[in-house]
Amino acid sequence: MRIYSTAFETGGEIPMRNTQEAEDLSPELIFEQIPAGTKSLVLIADDPDAPDPKAPKLVWLHWLLINLPASTRQLAEGIRHLPPGTVAGMNDSGNEGWAGPRPPIGTHRYFFKLYALDCVLEVPPRPFGRAPIEAAMQGHVLASAETFGTYLLSTNR
């Protein structure tokens, strides 16, 4: 299985338009080689370097999508209408949907993790975050893939 973005190379800099410094558009993501038997996909985008990459204390959740149809092969940049059946969870900024990079200190890494599941998850009461989803995914992951980009605030350059 593979996930990548057309907005940045793996390990490369995420464009400003995909951050809170500008339009805060979610980056385009492409999904390939989804395994047979996949019933749904889960996307988790997070920053393991919060608040300071030299002394990280937490993993900040930027995007959580569950029950993406197994046929999904792309999420367009700035997607407004999610594929049918897809449900957005609560990110650590306190809203559902994409919350782009705005690292307070240094260059942070932003991981986009795609999971192929052998089931469709029961949607927990909203708003929900990552913990109930990761618990529900246990024993149902057929495959996973990830990519990441980096970002440093323009004021810190």
Q: Measuring CA to CA, which residue among 62, 35, 44 is closest to residue 117?
A: 35
- At 60-90, the pLDDT tens digits run 999 999 999 999 999 999 999 999 999 999 9
> If you average pLDDT over residues 127-151, what whole number do you get?
98
pLDDT score at 155 = 86
The label of the residue with tokens 């204390």 reads 57
Alpha helices, DSSP H, located in the chain: 130-137
82 vs 97: CA distance, rounded Å: 10
Q: Is the pTM of this model over 0.95?
A: yes
38 vs 142: CA distance, rounded Å: 7
Percentage of the chain exceeding pLDDT 90: 97
Q: In what order do the strands lie in the sheet with 141-151?
A: 87-88, 58-69, 40-50, 108-117, 141-151
Q: Terminal CA-to-CA distance of the chain, rounded, Å?
A: 35
Which domains are seen in the chain, by residue range?
2-156 (3.90.280.10)
Q: Measuring CA to CA, which residue among 97, 77, 80, 79 is closest to residue 88?
A: 97
> If you average pLDDT over residues 8-13, what whole number do you get?
98
pLDDT score at 157 = 77
